[in-house]
Amino acid sequence: MDQNPVQVLNQQQRVMLNLLADGTAVDLCARVMEIEVSTARSMCGDMMQTLNLHSETDLVRFAAASPLTG
């Protein structure tokens, strides 16, 4: 993948990724983003699938290591 992998995510997913990178728990991300916890967890699952990651821990590590744009 030539482009930054974060660029394949939509704006809401990027917001979630930024929050995860800051150490925010998924349930708190949901509250901050004013969405249901189930929606936030589903969004994490979608991002993991898109980014070929296998756990929320992998997703948080990716978020922390990524130059987040958007």
Instruction: Please list the alpha-helical segments (H only) found in 1-70.
Output: 11-21, 26-33, 37-50, 56-65
Does pLDDT of 1 surpass 60? no
Domain ranges in the chain are 8-65
> What span, in angstroms and rounded, lies between the C-alpha atoms of 68 and 70?
7
Tell me what pLDDT residue 68 has: 65
CATH number assigned to the domain covering 8-65:
1.10.10.10
Instruction: Kindly indicate the confidence band of residue 4, based on its pLDDT and cuts at 50, 70 and 90.
Output: confident
- Per-residue pLDDT of 9-63, as tens digits, reads 999 999 999 999 999 999 999 999 999 999 999 999 999 999 999 999 999 999 9
